[in-house]
Amino acid sequence: MNNCFRSDLADELIEKTNKGEYEIENRKYKDISISKISILKEDNSLNKSIGTYVSIAFNNLEEKESRNDIKDVLVESLKNMLTSMKLNNEDKILVVGLGNEDFSADALGPMASKEVIVTSHLFTIEDFDIKDGTRQVSLISPGVMGQTGLETADIVKSVCDFYKPKVVIFIDALATRSMNRINKVIQITDTGIAPGSGIGNNRKALDKEYLGCECICIGVATVVGISSIVYETISLIEKMYGDLPPVYSPLKEENRYHIISSLLEDNNMEMIVTPKQIDEDIKNIAYIIGNSINEAVHNNASNL
């Protein structure tokens, strides 16, 4: 597929021509596929920052056992990143749930935040018995500019300047280029994020350079552009019935997406799409992410 497809997922942007720009490791855990991509060059054709991008792909959210398996993989990935950032037991962590809870496809951040165990206030209480393994965790869910009138990045920056966390963990919605991956892949990266990227509403970047602390982003592909859906539909038709007739030659692989995207845009038909079961999917994924953060940052999460 062509790189002009809208996607926030690093593993969807990998092509043979990118080979010198990254390293990739693939593995399986039960029914879960895990891809770890290390971007090596700052100026690259993927338009991604240097860093690590781990994609956790799954098919089953309905069964509790499957959700626990996804959580185990996410906890492992989070712990690995926190270890690489040399996080000490005394260091502070800020969790930021990005998005708009009133819009299902963008509600992941605020919903997952509700599952996070907040502890930083306990450290201010004199003689309070803090259990061993408990880290200082604070949480904000800053909403979106349409709700607050404020730039999300400015809110987060202000809190970081005051709270001084060692690590900020962001949770946000992302975009995929494939219908089959909506709500079926979690990406965790150590490079920061541009809030609202999943719904095509990019704001200021939230990263180490801007915030002055380490950044981890946990994102889920909750939406897909209609251009990608049309593209995939045509490809499925070809797969079922063979190549398109010569009259449709402009719709060959190399320029198909550009034609589809231009036609939809010219006719005001370009849109972001999400599946009808989005509410239940987001509820399940939010639970997985929130509890994964708890287990990754606290050594005694089950006792908190």
Better-predicted residue by pLDDT, 198 or 269:
269
- Please state the separation of Cα 156 from the chain's center in Å: 18
Domain extent listing, the chain: 10-224+276-303, 229-266
> Stretch 95-114: mean pLDDT, rounded?
93
pLDDT tens across 222-267, in order?
A: 887 666 666 666 666 667 766 665 555 555 555 666 666 666 665 5
d(CA 194, CA 202): 6
d(CA 212, CA 43): 22
Asked if the model's pLDDT at residue 152 lies above 80, the reply is yes
Q: Is the dihedral of CA 230, 235, 241, 244 positive or negative?
A: positive
Mean pLDDT, the chain, integer: 83
Q: Indicate the CATH number for domain 10-224+276-303.
A: 3.40.50.1450
Asked if the model's pLDDT at residue 187 lies above 60, the reply is yes
The one-letter amino acid code at 251 reads L
Better-predicted residue by pLDDT, 17 or 14:
14
Total-model pTM: 0.84
